[in-house]
Amino acid sequence: MTEHLVLRVISKLLIPPILLFALYVQMHGDYGPGGGFQAGVIFGAGLILYGLVFGTEAMRAVAPPRLLVVLACLGVLLYAGVGVASMIGGGEFLEYGALSADATHGNHVGIIIIEIGVGIAVASVMTIIFTALAEWR
Amino acid sequence: MVTLRNLLAAALVLGIYSLVMAALWVVLDAVDVAFTEAAVGAGVTTVFMLLAIAATGRHEKIAHRRPWLPILASLAVGGLLIYGTLDLPGFGDPEAPAQQHVAPHYLEQGEAETGVPNIVTAVLASYRGFDTLGEVTVIFTAGIGVLLMLGIVRRRRAGAGDDDDDTGERE
């Protein structure tokens, strides 16, 4: 898609705000609509837009599939790891209250960490599926 | 009856349908669901559909026989589902079981117990944290499944200087 000047320029302008908005949705999920899942999809959509306009080879440079697979695993492990950490802290699996002396504070911290795990996993998986589909012949 | 043989148009119609559904969720005050519907249904899924169409074909195969069995099956399942909705409590009915069970506790104690003002996040991430872990695992499995079937990581050619992210030709 090298000839579409308008698309390329507008995408370059739009992608940074999209990625920034994804981070906002990620961190603001406690207070407003959104959360890790939505943030992951939006972040993935930003990367997918880049891939659509500039091609999958450019996308591979930005988001190497090997790294994405590691990140997807890391996201799920981060979530499950919080569960194990709460067990070590003396609670049940995923009982975040055990993460801190104050149960409410522990809950809040646990939610933030698992949402980050969800976001990382979802963003990586969306990008993986896009790259796989786009390169499949 | 409107029929579309052009799959490209069908995919776009599906995306528009998702966007309209997202607007409907907003009207029903389910902004978190609307957010997801707009981002996943109207956004990413449409792109995936378009990519799948680009990889296969743009037009539906013309069927020589009328697909009576699938039509009957869809009508029967749709009818059953509509019949099932007749027993549902009215929209927003305070006496509905869903409003009586644990929902009052979440609404009243959610912020005090989790420190998170957004009840949807509190329920999804904390009260129903195990379910959400399952959902993330489902998404992860979907990604792994696509990787196994289509494969993008294995393109490490002998003699390629860099890692898999260099410009590798397929053939």
Interface check for A39 against chain B (CB to CB < 8 A): the answer is no
Q: How far is A125 from chain B (nearest CA, A)?
A: 5
Separation of alpha carbons B113 and B121, rounded Å: 13
Q: What is the pLDDT of residues B26-54, one digit of tens each?
A: 999 889 999 999 999 899 999 999 998 98
Which of A14, A19, A27, A37 to mutate to test binding with chain B, by most B CBs within 10 Å of its CB?
Answer: A37
* Residue B6 β-bridge partners: B59
A126, A49 in Cβ contact below 8 A? no
Name the closest residue on chain A to residue B43, using Cα atoms: A45
A35 shares contact with chain B (CB less than 8 Å): yes
Q: What is the pLDDT of residues A70-112, one digit of tens each?
A: 999 999 999 999 999 988 888 888 888 888 888 888 888 888 9
Could you report the per-residue pLDDT of B82-139, keeping only the tens digit for each? 999 998 888 778 888 877 888 888 888 888 888 888 888 888 888 888 999 999 999 9
pLDDT greater than 50 at residue B171: no
B126 and A132 in contact by Cβ < 8 A? no
Share the mean pLDDT of chain A. 90
**Separation between Cα atoms, residue A108 and residue A99, nearest integer Å:** 10
CA A130 to chain centre: 14
Residues of B in contact with A105 (CB under 8 A): 115
Residue A96 carries which side chain, given as an amino acid letter? Y
Does the distance separating the beta carbons of B115 and A105 come in below 8 Å?
A: yes
Contact present, B44 and A126 (Cβ < 8 Å): yes
| Residue B163 scores a pLDDT above 60 | no
Number of compact structural domains in chain A: 1
Query: Per-residue confidence at B154, pLDDT binned at 50, 70, 90?
Result: low
DSSP letters spanning chain A:
--S-HHHHHHHHHHHHHHHHHHHHHHHHTTTSS--HHHHHHHHHHHHHHHHHHH-HHHHHHHS-HHHHHHHHHHHHHHHHHHHHHHHHTTS-TT-GGGGSSSHHHHHHHHHHHHHHHHHHHHHHHHHHHHHHHHH--
Residue A72's domain comprises: 5-135
Q: Are A47 and A63 in contact (CB under 8 A)?
A: yes
Helix, strand, or coil (residue B59): strand
What is the maximum alpha-carbon separation in chain A? Answer: 60
| Residues in chain A, overall count | 137
